[in-house]
Amino acid sequence: MKKLVSLLFFVLPFIVFGQSNPHKIKVVIDGYADSTLYLAYYYGNKVKLADTAVSHSKTFVFNGKQELKGGIYIVVSQQKSKLFEFVLNKKQSFTLKTDTVNYSLDLTPSGSPENKLFYSYLKHNEMVYKKIKLLSDSLKKQGSGDDEAIALREEIKMLNEEGKAFKLKMIAKNQGTFVAALLTAMREVEIPDSIINSSDSTAAFYYYKNHFWDYFPLNDDRLLRTPLFDKRIKEYFKNLVSLEADSVITAIDYVIGMAEPNEDVVSYLVWYFTSEYQNPKYMGFDKILVHLVDNYFSKREIEYTTPSVLASLQKRADVLRKLLIGKEAPNLIVIDTAGSYKSFLSMPNEYTILLFWDYDCSICKREIKALKKVMVEHPPYDIGIFAINTNSNLKRWKQTINERHLESWTNVNGTRSVTSDFHDLYDVNGTPVLYLLDKDKRIIAKKLKADKIVLFLDHYTQTKK
């Protein structure tokens, strides 16, 4: 097991859970020299602090007037190292005794049938793991086809089957316990041979995807407080969801729907996806944040959402929704080098580039150079450039246009505008920023690098055929 635990929970406020039932968890560690222990718990992809115990002997007591929510909890040393884990369900008064030789394998629970089951599983699992490791090490020394190697592989297979049978037997004999729910959630989807051998090459993938959550009830918030939850969510979205905004939105709604009506899990998931997609890695994925704000934050109570937080989220979504792929680009009427006001809507080109740039910006200089190269090489596309400078010094702006030979572009200055502030209108928080529009002045790409424009248009025109 990993020794170090994320330090995140030490900067979070003390968390109090539940109803009015108390918790009293006694921890006895022979040989433990420090005076402090922390009680922490998993919370999706985080670890949070639940309680602190101070003692000048080997006995520590986590004692509180409130019931803690079920899940896997962690006893953490004064040095922020994980010592061991245990399960917590309805019964919250018990003793865990161990020593510093092997915190987990030497642990003996008393007064907690759930933890007796949990440690029975852990110890059996450790025993099987050690046997398999010895056999695997021996196998590495053998030739792949000799008799001994075949025998070793068969023995490893039998041990894996034994471990699986032990888990299934424990689940069957202990229905209703959190340990049974936990072990069930660990089960992997088994794809039938008929599907594996199907002539349809996609059958196995779709079977696995359709049955991915069979053993993992997302509406059981106890699983949220285990390391399994985050791993499952990440695996599903990484391996089973297409890398397209609409597909991700569909998957998010599906997963949150399965978490209903558990408000704890729904709130966690909404915030998790918000964190994942508020600064998206892929173009067009800002649509996901808009969806989350419109369909969850604005329609129901989500935990930890204060009125000011909600207002900020809605303001951000309102900025983004006007700039989503496929939307008509907001009009800009800004001054040109002759002192006249101009709009890109009058540009006749098949494609229009909106480039926001700063004459003091070194990255802008590189992008402009790359963009000039694109235009000089005469790509097979009719592209017009509407270059919006963000500096207020008009004299220097015009000098820079001449110095960099940008006269063939439509040059305008964003600081002299009839329309709204370009910073808000186009979400310009730095430069350069580039938007690519089609002939109807709809946004087809944004925040694209200049040297990727032709490649993007090649792909775009192919998909439009």
pLDDT of residue 21: 63
CA distance 15 to 17: 6
Q: Is the pLDDT of residue 8 over 60?
A: no
pLDDT of residue 145: 65
> What stretch of H or E contains 457?
helix 453-464
Q: Is the pLDDT of residue 20 over 80?
A: no
Mean pLDDT of 5-34: 64
Q: Is the pLDDT of residue 222 over 80?
A: yes
pLDDT of residue 16: 43
CA distance 270 to 137: 44
Partner residues linked to 75 by β-bridges: 39, 84
Q: What is the CA radius of gyration of the chain?
A: 30
- List Cβ neighbours of 372 (8 Å cut-off, separation of 6 or more): 405, 406
Task: Kindly report, residue by residue over 122-181, the tens digit of the pLDDT.
Answer: 999 999 999 998 888 888 877 666 778 888 888 889 999 998 999 999 999 999 999 999
pLDDT band of residue 2 (cuts 50, 70, 90) is very low
CA distance 137 to 147: 16
E strand map for 391-456: 410-417, 433-437, 443-446
pLDDT of residue 378: 66
pLDDT of residue 144: 62
pLDDT of residue 147: 77
E strand map for 10-122: 23-30, 36-43, 46-54, 59-64, 71-77, 82-88, 93-99, 108-110
pLDDT of residue 239: 97
Higher pLDDT, 20 or 203: 203
What is the side-by-side strand order in the sheet with 108-110?
59-64, 23-30, 93-99, 108-110
pLDDT of residue 139: 83
Task: Kindly report, residue by residue over 258-308, the tens digit of the pLDDT.
Answer: 999 999 999 999 999 999 999 999 999 999 999 999 999 999 999 999 999
pLDDT band of residue 60 (cuts 50, 70, 90) is very high
Parallel/antiparallel/unpaired status of strands 433-437 and 443-446:
antiparallel
As given in the structure block, the two tokens for residue 87 are 């399960």
Torsion of CA 296, 301, 306, 308, to 10 degrees: 50
Task: Kindly report, residue by residue over 39-52, the tens digit of the pLDDT.
Answer: 999 999 999 999 99
pLDDT band of residue 99 (cuts 50, 70, 90) is very high
Task: Kindly report, residue by residue over 365-413, the tens digit of the pLDDT.
Answer: 999 999 999 888 767 899 999 999 999 999 999 999 999 999 999 999 9
Q: Is the dihedral of CA 211, 213, 214, 215 positive or negative?
A: positive
Partner residues linked to 85 by β-bridges: 74
Q: Which of 366, 363, 421 is nearest to 388 (CA)?
A: 421
As given in the structure block, the two tokens for residue 74 are 């962690």
DSSP 91-120: --EEEEEEESS-TTTT-EEES-HHHHHHHH
Task: Kindly report, residue by residue over 102-111, the tens digit of the pLDDT.
Answer: 999 999 999 9
Q: Which of 230, 239, 232, 196 is nearest to 214 (CA)?
A: 232
* Phi–psi pair at 260, nearest 5 degrees: -65, 150
Is 143:149 a contact under the CB 8 Å cutoff?
A: yes
Q: Is the pLDDT of residue 319 over 60?
A: yes
CA-based max dimension of the chain: 88
pLDDT of residue 11: 36
Q: Give percent of the chain above pLDDT 70.
A: 94
Tell me the pTM: 0.88
